[in-house]
Structure 1
């Protein structure tokens, strides 16, 4: 008989509805039950695409004896971290403080008041590698609670108090050009000279850091810093693109590589990664003109539109790490891995099999489980591309017959916003209007489905809204994407919607230091109110707010919005200098602000005139990152950049401006290019 998760909107919770564990969703009712029974809470946090979450579920939560032990001694609560990032954040802080590490599944034992008693991640069914078995942990916690309840409750409350105090440090300040320029040196010191990227294994795509480095490379006053930043960014983009972390057959990227060389990924594909990476590859191509980077961006879009669009027109959250292998068992990466026999079955010609082995890293005994290999393109040159593309088509066709990974089809606002923003920009830059239309459709779905009484609901599934309020990242990232839509579609309604979202952000999420809390002032009270300024897998609410405020300020010319962005950025200025790897978007904003390279460009003309698009295309490719380009007829209502702008000789006319102070209007593409080069230098 299904448990209390049967009606959940989360596919992750649905995965556990038939467990013998008597799961509760996160709710006041669950805490009331723990108080009524006088037992602690077992909090299990994960997400649908998580391989080790599945492993622990199969080993422990589907086991009748383990379930009986849980049900008798605890009130078990299951949480989807993607629906409730606030719950995940506060208890991940506790887990990391108590164990020195974190990850998912996250397993935390709580008092009925919600204070953490004991924490860990994956626990095996039997003791191994120095880890106790899950059953031993259950017995130890329940025994200690029975014997020392008051002492444990007092200690857990003290842990919550200390965690709340730990998050209140002052990291505010102001930055000079020298401060920001030194961030490149700090990143270079952490750069992997052998494989690119930063740090050692496991390697995560550093998308937000790449954005900052590309802005350095484009406009920083010091040429040596520009060159170094360009080298770091481009090398990392190319290494990831050629590695096994990149799905060479369908496009898209896995969440991270388990090794330092980007060879074997943890195979889940997350929407946020691919939205961020689409922007990174698009901007890398815009800076360098590298055909390979452009091709990767296109393949990401193709994957998004082929595999991730939901029936509602927005984008699904993730694809699972696991799928059924030839033996019928769920196996991590089974859909993506190859051996020689499979290549033969797909290609049939020995010479072509040997070509793939030589050029794509398929070994007789590969580095993945059971000797399988990922496909890599480290041996494929630009001259090899035509031959590779013909083989790619055949391999993809053969792979399509395999059992596919499961898809978590819930819609998450913040993650969709990252895709909407990048997809709209890609449509404009690569002159693919159908991509822009897809971005508009997804944005319209979010606005109509996820907005209730002026506020955002974080997630939905199959047209049914979830119960969790949207966070700072949801409001800020959606506002950011809406300003992009206002730019590329010429429809100012999107800018008005962005303003509404940022008003909610300012009214309900503002912090005393000028930054932003992650949750609203009227959100559910947890053991502390999350306020994490660091970029992790996705941008923080703070850094997203800074970019959204800055872009709307550039679009409208409103100084107050720019000043609010400055105050927010200054609230975490020390983070940029102390840990630039975890402040990529704040660093990117600081680069644009201190280099003063971003401009506003108004292209005035008849939208049906193809010359207007020629002007806009030039501006989008040449204007520095952070710039805003708008097109439309003279005096288009509610578009300040077009106000009082006229056409010269009835020809499309370009105005290049900084802080709404414009150069002489131009009607020649070469003159527009010259002005952009002069102001962006």
Structure 2
């Protein structure tokens, strides 16, 4: 037995390095081994923070008898879905086609050619061993039927990847229909859309915020405010340390699945920052600040970059770090403060979670309380967090994923410039440097790095889109032409290697590894679709440079998801958000100034509608097209407000600028 995962860059694969299973990484060599041995392949897909992945590992993959059965009759391949989203997408489509549902761990049996013929998710040990025996028997005695089944699944997978389907032009009516569709699914009691389990609908909320700005819709803004408040007071939000869990198992956000993902917190940082910008809501501002602090405190890695996730489990137990009993509160805080905290955080004798423990929720509005009460609350939080730090802590998946770091850079740049947070601004610039210096190899993106070492998996479309969008965000807060050039290079690669030829985009490059089919999924999942993220960057880049070909590419791609935005907006929130920017213009705002602290600069960022591009700097700054031919008026900071490259008369006061943008 020779487990081959010891040198893997993926922490998830590293978790399995000591299994008695003879694991292979995804590679042609693994399939060659299966062909030479004439055995089927087991493809096991998961990720480091996945609770049920851990359960199946403990039950089956760490068991000597199960491992012996696997090693004798299969070639076993372990895949980190976050490192290889292309592999995950293909086999998830197969799993959904075969079972009607999907999830992780994903368990796929395939031919030595990679054709899946039986798929599932988590299997308890007894079921799994029976399944291994059944698959082995079928492979040996009913080979023709197995191969026929595999061919049928491959055909179904290919049919699910529709390229060149129906289109719909982006219009005000289409986006109004999307907003109406979301409103119909809104939970009026607890916020969010649909029932349990509830995932933070960050991309839909970003769309609704922009829809409100363009149309003045009070309903759209209230959907965001209500959902944002309910999540922030729920157990899905870490009431002591900040940061959001992946989802809540209930409809009222009380009990989370405790993993904390970088991408969720990056997108939610944008939501709460923008909600505060538009409303001045003190809860939104606090949550934005705490989420930014969580990202930089708990996910920053020694080698640079932000880690992917904190685990759902601690020492194999869900919620061990986070849940409390009334007695534990009293032990830390004393009788009086313990009772007050139990009431505030809804910690009950019976518990809201498991084994009599409760997840902390914020039972009443504390942000608007008097200063003395707020001070007491902050003191209790600090004491509880200190005590919690002495408990066992969840493991951290410390691989750096390009696209997710891109999402975080954009969020931190927005938070930094809007709130004046130097730590967020500096972090955005520093993280962009990590991606540019480590993940860009010969002009192409690599998806992951770990401990300062870049991995082999190549970037997929979402990497190019999210990183390009991030570079453009950093360009806007620095006026450094380096980031504009870098973003343009990524977009040129995307246009050259990912286009479908009919306006849309594939998720993998034309020169990437060939899989069963070439994924082209326009729907948002846990993160923005590759198509949506690349469109966001294309629209901003065109507005910043005046190069209309990039805007035309975005417009064409958005029409391919128009029917999805209109009919299924919950799965196209990021595309709808970009579409709102397209209808708004977007605004192109140049602030010519020799003083970046001038109030005109801050007002430009705070008042410009979402999706606008804004650059402040000295007139005619080399390499910055938006500042070309933008002189100072009367030696004062001067703002130029344009839409579609047509500009209004320049203004020199914040009041005039606000009037221009609100017109």
* Shared fold (TM-score, shorter chain, > 0.5): yes
The CA deviation at 1:592 is 2.7
Mapping for residues 208-287 of structure 1, pairs under 5 Å: 208-220=203-215, 223=216, 226-287=217-278
Match of 1:188 among 183, 186, 191: 183
Give the match for residue 356 of structure 2: 371
CA distance in structure 1 between the aligned counterparts of 2:93 and 2:620, rounded to whole angstroms: 52
Question: In the alignment, what sits opposite 1:602?
Answer: 590
What residue in structure 1 maps to residue 555 of structure 2? 566
Map of 1:666 onto structure 2? 651
SS in structure 2 of the partner of residue 371 of structure 1? coil
Q: Is the 8 A contact 2:586 2:644 kept in 1?
A: no
Q: What's the secondary structure of 1:572's corresponding residue?
A: helix
* TM-score using structure 1 length: 0.95
Conservation of the 8 A alpha-carbon contact between 1:546 and 1:565:
yes
User: What are the superposed Cα offsets for residues 392-431 of structure 1, whole Å, 9 maximum, x if unpaired?
Assistant: 1111111111111101111100000000111011111111
Output the CA distance in 1 between the equivalents of 2:558 and 2:102.
27
Alignment of 1:519 with 2:504, yes or no, is no
Q: Distance in 2 between matches of 1:357 and 1:190?
A: 33
SS in 2 for 1:675: helix
Deviations 1:338-362 (A, max 9, x none): 11121012111x2222222222111
Is the 8 Å Cα contact of residues 51 and 313 (structure 2) preserved in structure 1?
yes
Task: Note if contact 1:4-1:24 (Cα within 8 Å) is conserved in structure 2.
Answer: yes
| Alpha-carbon distance in structure 2 between the residues aligned to 1:439 and 1:111 | 45
1:174-207 deviation digits (Å, cap 9, x = unpaired): 1332222011121111111221101111100101
The superposition leaves residues 649-673 of structure 1 with CA deviations (integer Å, 9 ceiling, x where unpaired) of 2111111221232222222221121
2:374 paired residue number? 385
Once the two structures are TM-superposed, the CA of residue 2 in structure 1 deviates from its matched residue by 6.3
* 1:597–1:658 distance in 2 versus 1, CA, 3 Å: closer
Q: Is the 8 A contact 1:12 1:80 kept in 2?
A: yes
Kept after mapping to 2: 8 A contact 1:52/1:105: yes
Name structure 1 gaps, 5 residues minimum.
Answer: 127-132, 325-329
Q: For residues 525-536 of structure 1, what are the structure 2 equivalents within 5 Å?
A: 525-536=514-525
User: Within 2, Cα distance between the matches of 1:597 and 1:653?
Assistant: 21
Alignment of 1:178 with 2:169, yes or no, is: no
Task: Name the residue aligned to 2:113.
Answer: 113
Shift of 1:108: 0.5
Q: Are positions 1:71 and 2:58 aligned together?
A: no
Match of 1:163 in 2: 157
- Cα distance in 2 for partners of 1:610, 1:420 equals 22
1:387 deviation in Å?
Answer: 2.5
Please state how far the C-alpha of 1:380 moved relative to its aligned partner: 3.3
Decide which moves more: 367-376 or 285-294: 367-376
Any runs of at least 4 consecutive aligned residues in structure 1 with deviations exceeding 3 A, and if so which?
none
C-alpha contact 1:26 1:79 (8 A) present in aligned 2: yes
Compute the displacement of 1:597 (Å).
Answer: 5.7
Whole-angstrom CA distance in 1 between matches of 2:321 and 2:228: 24
**What is aligned with 2:317?**
331
1 CA distance for matches of 2:186 and 2:149? 41
Gapped runs of 5+ residues in structure 2?
A: none
Quote the offset at 1:590 in angstroms.
1.9
Rounded Cα–Cα distance in structure 1 between residues aligned with 2:608 and 2:660: 10
Work out the CA distance in 1 between the residues paired with 2:653 and 2:45.
Answer: 58
- 1:284 and 1:293 in contact (8 A); partners too: yes
Residue in 1 that maps onto 2:633: 648
Cα distance in 1 for residues equivalent to 2:293 and 2:244 = 12
Structure 2: distance between partners of 1:161 and 1:289:
53
Aligned to 1:130: none
Aligned to 2:452: 463
Task: Describe the SS at the equivalent of 1:631.
Answer: strand
Distance 2:205 2:569 in 1: 11
Verify the 8 A CA contact 1:641 1:660 in the aligned structure 2: no
Q: Which residue of 1 aligns with 2:565?
A: 576
Instruction: Report the TM-score, using the length of structure 2 for normalisation.
Output: 0.97
Please say if residues 2 and 22 of structure 2, whose CA atoms lie closer than 8 Å, have aligned partners that are also in contact.
Answer: no
**Alpha-carbon offset, residue 598 of structure 1:** 3.4
Q: Would the aligned equivalents of 2:93 and 2:160 in 1 still touch at CA under 8 Å?
A: no
Cα deviation per residue 1:625-660 (whole Å; 9 max; x = unaligned)?
111111111111121221111112211111122123
For residues 260-313 of structure 1, what are the alpha-carbon distances to aligned partners after superposition, in whole Å with 9 as ceiling and x for unaligned?
A: 110000000111111111011111111111011011000011111111111122
Deviation string for 1:588-609 (max 9, x for gaps)?
Answer: 1222323x263121111113x6
Q: Is the 8 A contact 1:92 1:102 kept in 2?
A: yes
Q: Deviations over 1:440-484 (max 9, x none)?
A: 111111111111111011001111121111000001110001011
Match in the other structure for 1:342: 328
For 2:653 and 2:564, locate their aligned partners in 1 and report how far apart those are by CA, in whole Å.
Answer: 44
Query: Which of 412, 421, 444 is matched with 2:410 structurally?
Result: 421
| CA distance in structure 2 between the aligned counterparts of 1:442 and 1:610, rounded to whole angstroms | 23
Supply the distance in 2 between the matched residues of 1:583 and 1:472 (Cα, whole angstroms).
16
SS at match of 2:387: helix
How far did 1:26 drift? 0.4
- What is the rounded CA distance, in whole Å, between the counterparts of 2:661 and 2:156 in structure 1? 52
Q: 2:616 aligns with which of 612, 617, 631?
A: 631
Q: Select 1:432's aligned residue among 412, 421, 438.
A: 421
1:306 paired residue number: 297
Deviates more, 1:189-198 or 1:79-88: 189-198
Alignment of 1:538-553 (within 5 A): 538-553=527-542
Query: Counterparts of 1:57-96 in structure 2 under 5 Å?
Result: 57-96=57-96
Task: Give the aligned length.
Answer: 658
Superposition deviation, residue 65 in structure 1: 0.5
Q: 1:147 aligns with which of 113, 126, 141?
A: 141
Contact 1:34/1:75 (8 A) holds in 2: yes
Task: After superposition, give the CA deviation of every residue in 1:205-259 in whole Å (9 maximum; x if it has no partner).
Answer: 1010000100111111xx5xx1111111111111111100001111110101111
Q: Identify the range of structure 1 (55-64 vs 168-177) with the bigger mean alpha-carbon deviation.
A: 168-177
> Counterparts of 1:633 and 1:655 in 2: how far apart (Å)?
13
Q: Give the equivalent residue in structure 2 for 1:129.
A: none
Q: Partners in 2 of 1:601 and 1:387 — Cα distance?
A: 44
**What SS class does the counterpart of residue 48 from structure 1 fall into?**
coil
> Secondary structure of the residue that 2:459 maps to in structure 1?
coil
